[in-house]
Structure 1
């Protein structure tokens, strides 16, 4: 049995990098929602910047998850 260690290392490295990136983007989305909540607690406050930050972050996370499911499920190919 032959195992391509280089390919295994590449898959591992890409998996780690993408996982860290998705967690970081999700954390930025949560930060945006926290800014919205903090602005609501102040009188007359609103934070459209927080929603503008959270929306794309969560959409990017959902896109990465959908792409991963697309790669795993053979009926989608």
Structure 2
């Protein structure tokens, strides 16, 4: 009887491990996606900050250049 209980506990334990591992995999996947999105957004923000720091032009000049570039 004790062996039977131990084997049932072992089965539940291994099932729990499988569930935990799959959940861990999915959370890692979502964490990776979130990190990639954060990296992309921070890169864009840094580029914008760099542009604003290095450009000595006024916003009006920037708008005119942008319109000329599109035409």
Give the TM-score normalised by structure 2: 0.53
Show structure 1 runs of 5+ residues with no match. 47-77
The aligned length equals 46
CA distance in 2, matches of 1:17, 1:31: 21
1:8 partnered with 2:20: yes
RMSD: 1.9
**Of 46, 53, 56, which residue of structure 2 is paired with 1:43?**
56
Bigger fraction of residues in helix = 2
Please list every run of at least 4 consecutive aligned residues from structure 1 whose deviation after the TM superposition is greater than 3 angstroms.
none
Whole-Å separation in 1 of the counterparts to 2:33 and 2:52: 29
With the length of structure 1 as denominator, give the TM-score of the two structures. 0.50
Higher RCO structure (Cα 8 Å, ≥6 apart): 1
Gaps of 5+ in 2: 1-8, 60-71
Q: Deviations over 1:21-40 (max 9, x none)?
A: 11111111100101111111
